[in-house]
Structure 1
Amino acid sequence: TALGVLAPGGSFVIKLFTLFEHTTLSIVFCIAAFFEEVAIVKPSMSKYGNSETYAIGLRYKGIRSVFLRQLTRAVRVDGFLDTAIIPRSWIPQEFYDQYVAAARQFAQWQEQTIKNNLNIWNEGGVRQNEEQQLREAKRKFAYMWMQKFNIMPISPSDRIAYWAQGKRLTGAQPNTTREKPRQKVQGLQQDRMDHKLAYDDLQIARKKKYERQSNGASMGEFFTLDYHPSSSSSSIGKRPRDGS
């Protein structure tokens, strides 16, 4: 969809997680084919221990409508999880080698960070004075960034998002708009897949309730539906919010 609406010369950013998969390789190759320049980066503010990376395409060259239709059709179904979007034979060996080298480099950095975190944990965690130094460094970095890019405060009347009164960016919690900690699905890949299936079932049930509005179903009934992740997924943590 993004390739269909982006103007020639534009830029494109997509969030990636696991580079060692054929789907991610296909995505990055597509970006390289339709942009004059592509880079895989990990922002300095992204936690070093996770696999979050971003692919950035610069100077969009455009895409033919016939290819866009085929590409859209390929990613609309779950089949591409087992079948590569782009055949391996289409990908030049030089590009493939560069991609694998980048994937290994990010994996090595992530592995080293995880080992360092485990060592800190085994030694009793971050000391209070060290934690204070880290927060102070974050505040200084934020101040330097605001000065460099001339970021100015806006009037409260111009804000478009909820503002939690009295909250500050201390470095401990960068989000000031969420009153409670975000609840995430934890555990194995299978746990996440079970959660997604349960959530999809919830949306289908809500849609059916909504479609029966004219037959007497109330809006209250529509919003009281809930979902329950599989009981066998014991490693799932607290139930994520579903918007109900």
Structure 2
Amino acid sequence: MSHKRPHPSPRQPYPKQHSNKPRPRRQQFTQDVWDETERLFSKTFSFQKPEDDPWRLPPAKVFFTNQNQPFPQLLEMKEELNRVKGLLSDKEIRSWHEHTNQTNRAGKVISHLKQTIHPQLCTQAWCKFHEIVSTFPIVSDAAVESGVFNSVHVCEAPGAFITSLNHFLANWRVNCEWNWVGNSLNPYYEGNDLEHTIDDDRFIFGTLSNWHFGADNTGDIMSTENLRHLKTFVADIQPIHLVTADGSIDCQKNPGEQESIVSQLHYCEVVSALQLLGEGGALVVKKFTMLEPSSACLMYLLNCVFQEVHVFKPATSKSGNSEVYVVCVGYSGQETLAGHMDKLMENFKPAGHENDLFPCETLPTTFTSQLVSCCRQFTELQCETIQENLRLFDAPSEEMAEHIRQARECCAQEYVHRYQLRPIRKDDRIYTEAATRSQFTSDLRKQLQGSFNERQQLAQLPWAQKILQDGGGGQGAMGPERTTIATLEVSLSSY
């Protein structure tokens, strides 16, 4: 599990903020483009804890005793967001996805990095994590100075967070022994649904000894026994300094309830991290909207056990989807949860509890008011992007097309400049045994097609009628089918 990186030169002080060096070729972009680019990289909300009235966890005896009603302000936001999302229900998804790819201001970042920086496993996840690790101190100075850095990455496949972290450590010449462990649904386990596993296994196949799939070999992080085995597996690399969790669930059949559908997965990811992390450790967990009572409770839990909690929307996360990352720094340690962990583990299962983690009246107004502000900030940004994409879909102008072209180019250049990226040596890449060729083909899954309304109508038809509607060969009312590598939350990521 070790990945030691001896460097002849001392470690450079990696940036806590973006570079202050003059931006290259600034004169080629308008001020409007620069202002928009700056906003794109500044989508952050940081919780501020009151010093005179510290936030504390409620007594364990009140855990899971109450089913909370939604907070009125958050319910209004959810209804408005779903109203705006509903405007997309008649849009053919492949055309819409192509359109939003063109309007995505960060759409050129990946290709630009591949041409200039040559990252290992360069994907959107690689780019998002590199923004996170370059913006927040999740690689702590204390860990680096100790000479050892240990990380666990759950729901990680195909492994881009790991290769992104490796590039960061090499880029800034972090001279330490890095031990990492990956976890995800096992792509080789026959009992796992192919719809829920990745089918790009090249990195996993080449680093298999660093991956752990639990007692039952499924990789399911919502299993108590699998968590217990994971803790045993990492017992020799202590303390754990960083846990990342990038899990999601396909919500294409009910996008309006995405948050509720994924809430139990996020709960299990967080509790897993609290069981794994050492004192002072950091957590990065993917979230979507935080409008439900379950999310409010989970965010309060994190604020009570970490010194810092930030909500961050990376520039390379498509602006029209609900995805954000909760970045937590300075874990207070497992001892502080000694009276609560047993209760937290009672709900550690796929189905979850019908009641919420805490009664809503136990959440202080100093927290809930900030949560409302946080949700408003990201909900408004998402709605603005969807509405802009709708306007451009119906009536694009040459002037706006040129602005978007400039913004995409500016964002790609700014990404490299801001995070001071440069190619790393071949020897600094994570060694994958032999030439790793995927064990899967890319035609295992069908890409979504048609509008959301059409897919819902087709789903209601009897089986025989579906066959007739589809023409028996993929040439039905929604047009010809083609196959591709599918992604989770594909309909929502197209916003």
TM-score range, shorter chain: 0.5 to 0.7
Q: Give, as a single letter, the amino acid of the residue that structure 2 aligns with 1:114.
A: I
Q: How does 1:116-155 map to 2 (within 5 A)?
A: 116-124=388-396, 132-145=405-418, 148-154=420-426
Q: Residue 157 of structure 1: CA displacement?
A: 8.4
Q: Residue 77 of structure 1: CA displacement?
A: 4.8
Q: Residue 6 of structure 1: CA displacement?
A: 0.2
Q: Separation in 1 of the partners of 2:326 and 2:395?
A: 36
2:280 aligned with 1:13: no
Q: Give, as a single letter, the amino acid of the residue that structure 1 aligns with 2:340.
A: F
Does the CA-based 8 Å contact 2:280-2:329 persist in structure 1? yes
Give the counterpart of 1:61 among 332, 337, 348: 332
Q: State the SS of the aligned residue for 2:279.
A: coil
Give the counterpart of 2:305 among 19, 34, 51: 34
Cα separation, partners in 2 of 1:157 and 1:48, compared to 1, 3 Å = closer
Give the counterpart of 1:3 among 274, 284, 287: 274
2:74 aligned with 1:74: no
Alignment-derived partner of residue 102 in structure 1: 374
Cα separation, partners in 2 of 1:158 and 1:125, compared to 1, 3 Å = farther
2:84 aligned with 1:84: no
Q: Give, as a single letter, the amino acid of the residue that structure 2 aligns with 1:104.
A: R
Q: TM-score, normalised by structure 1?
A: 0.60
Cα separation, partners in 2 of 1:38 and 1:131, compared to 1, 3 Å = closer
Cα shift readout 1:155-196 (whole Å, capped 9, x = no counterpart): 5986539899xxxxxxxxxxxxx97898666859xx8xx9xx
Q: Percent identity?
A: 24
Instruction: State the number of aligned residues.
Output: 184
Q: Which segments of 5 or more consecutive residues in structure 2 lack a partner in the other structure? A: 1-271, 471-480, 488-495
Q: Give, as a single letter, the amino acid of the residue that structure 2 aligns with 1:91.
A: L
Q: State the SS of the aligned residue for 2:391.
A: helix
Alignment-derived partner of residue 320 in structure 2: 49
| Most deviating of 98-107 and 136-145 | 136-145
Cα separation, partners in 2 of 1:31 and 1:138, compared to 1, 3 Å = same
Q: State the SS of the aligned residue for 2:315.
A: coil
Q: State the SS of the aligned residue for 2:347.
A: helix
Q: TM-score, normalised by structure 2?
A: 0.32
Q: State the SS of the aligned residue for 2:326.
A: strand
Cα separation, partners in 2 of 1:42 and 1:139, compared to 1, 3 Å = closer
Cα separation, partners in 2 of 1:3 and 1:77, compared to 1, 3 Å = same
Q: Separation in 2 of the partners of 1:138 and 1:157?
A: 26
Does the CA-based 8 Å contact 1:26-1:84 persist in structure 2? yes
Q: Residue 32 of structure 1: CA displacement?
A: 0.4
RMSD: 4.1
Does the CA-based 8 Å contact 2:443-2:485 persist in structure 1? no
Q: Give, as a single letter, the amino acid of the residue that structure 1 aligns with 2:359.
A: P
Q: Residue 136 of structure 1: CA displacement?
A: 2.8
Q: Residue 133 of structure 1: CA displacement?
A: 3.5
Alignment-derived partner of residue 215 in structure 1: none
Alignment-derived partner of residue 208 in structure 1: none
Q: Residue 100 of structure 1: CA displacement?
A: 1.2
Q: Separation in 2 of the partners of 1:98 and 1:182?
A: 42
Q: Name the structure, 1 or 2, with higher relative contact order (CA <8 Å, separation 6+).
A: 2
